[in-house]
Amino acid sequence: MGIFNFFSKDKKEKLDKGLEKTKENVFGKISRAVAGKSTIDELALDDIEEALITSDIGVETTLKIIGKLEERVAKNKYINTAELNDFLKAEISLLMKEGYDEIPKVDGPYVIMVVGVNGVGKTTTIGKLAHQFKQQGKKVVLGAADTFRAAAVDQLLIWADRVGVEIVKQDMGSDPASVCFDTLQSAKASGADVVIIDTAGRLHNKINLMNELTKIKNVMAKVILEAPHDVMLVLDASTGQNAIEQATQFTKATEVNSLALTKLDGTAKGGVVIGISDQFQIPVRYIGVGEGVEDLQVFNKNEFVDSLFN
């Protein structure tokens, strides 16, 4: 079963499999929409619109893409399916930022703070991430700053054991900012390379909880001036347009500078990241494509878009 299946073989296969539904949904429909037609007419444009919207790409982004397509069609009415695919691929690529996997050299440990609403998969992502860094030979310390949700600390503790990294924790209900302070001090003292902070899931419209997050973030600078170097927002691929509001509010509270998109191995299409990447100019850094410890991949824009088309 998922979690115990530590070393899954073919990463690419997983991604393709996960994205297959996306492909079927968007491009299957589009192919059908334009099949047997030598030109793109109103009706085909409507079908493309439907295909994009049902993939959670969103009304605004869809209209943006359709607008570009209309311009293109106005210039040249005789566009075929292959050209259409290329055109859409290019347009979607343009909307997305390039991801990155390297951790820049910093003075002391590189601190990643992981945030997001409830149930998106923050803790699981952290477990997988810790495993990747460990594999790269880095010394990793986890900070269990979700002191609110029942058994959240235990969950992270199991992950720390499983991948063999250190963890700093306090009792449930203790001040998360204080956990972060401890974690950073301990990591600094022990010469760790990477610190990953787990925070409690919170709905982005709860102002006090968002203020708490700002406080957690600010406390880190007291130990390491530039920390956190990376604030990573975890998004659930099955989330609809609300993800945009999540990105807005979390960015406001913590200056999010990277995204992780989870649960892409389900039927969810993940189209919402296209709009978010575009609107906030934040790169998707990782994608989750399974429950295994290895099922976290560095996001590659070209691969992602290619997987949609090939």
Partner 1 sequence: MFENLSEKLDKAFKVLKGQGSISEINVAQTMKQIRKALLAADVDFKTAKSFTSRVQEKAMGEKVLTAIDPGQLLTKIMKDELATLMGSEQSDISLDGSPTVILIAGLQGSGKTTFSGKLALLLKSKKNKRPLLVACDVYRPAAIDQIGVLAEQVGVDVYQDRKNKNPVEIAQAAIKHAKTNGHNVVIIDTAGRLAVDEQMMKEISAVKSAVNPNETLFVVDAMTGQDAVNTAKAFNEKLNFDGVVLTKLDGDTRGGAALTIRSVVDKPIKFIGTSEKMDGLDVFHPDRMASRILGMGDVISLVERAQQQFDEEEARRVQKKIAKNQFGFDDFLKQIQQVKKMGNMKDLVGMIPGMGKAMKGVDMDDDAFKGIEAIIHSMTKQERENPKLLNGSRKKRIASGSGTTVVEVNQLIKQFSQMGKMMKMMQGGGAKQMMQMMKGKGGIPGM
Residues 1-40 that bind partner 1 (CB under 8 A): 1-3, 21
Q: Between 159 and 181, whose beta carbon lies closer to partner 1?
A: 159
Distance CA 188, CA 195 (A): 9
Tokens 């399974």 sit at which residue?
290
Q: Is 240 in the site for partner 1 (CB under 8 A)?
A: yes
Q: How far is CA 128 from CA 153, 176, 196, 220, 289, in A?
A: 16, 22, 11, 23, 11
Q: Is 159 in the site for partner 1 (CB under 8 A)?
A: yes
Q: Residue type for 245, please? A: E
Stretch that binds partner 1, among 35-43, 101-109, 207-215, 298-306 (CB under 8 A): 207-215
CA angle at 135 for the pair 14 and 226, rounded to the nearest 5°? 105
263, 276, 277, 307: which one contacts partner 1 (CB under 8 A)? 263
Q: With contact defined as beta carbons under 8 Å apart, do 159 and 185 qualify?
A: no
Size of the site for partner 1 (CB under 8 A): 52
In the complex, minimum distance from the CB of residue 120 to partner 1, in angstroms, rounded to a whole number: 6
Q: Between 156 and 219, whose beta carbon lies closer to partner 1?
A: 156
Site string for partner 1, 277-296 (x = CB under 8 A): --------------x-----
In the complex, minimum distance from the CB of residue 226 to partner 1, in angstroms, rounded to a whole number: 29
SS3 label, residue 114: strand
Q: Is 120 in the site for partner 1 (CB under 8 A)?
A: yes
Q: Is 118 in the site for partner 1 (CB under 8 A)?
A: yes
158, 174, 178, 298: which one contacts partner 1 (CB under 8 A)? 158
Q: How far is CA 279 from CA 57, 101, 195, 245, in A?
A: 12, 22, 29, 11
| Per-residue exposure over 224-258, b if at least 16 CB sit within 10 Å of its own CB, e if not | beebbbbbbbbbbbbbebebbebbebbbebbebbb
Tokens 């090939």 sit at which residue?
310
Q: Is 45 in the site for partner 1 (CB under 8 A)?
A: no
Q: Is 176 in the site for partner 1 (CB under 8 A)?
A: no
Which residues of the shown chain bind partner 1 in the complex (CB under 8 A)? 1-3, 21, 50, 53-56, 58-59, 117-121, 127, 148-152, 154-155, 157-159, 162, 172, 203-209, 236, 238-243, 245, 263, 265-269, 272, 291
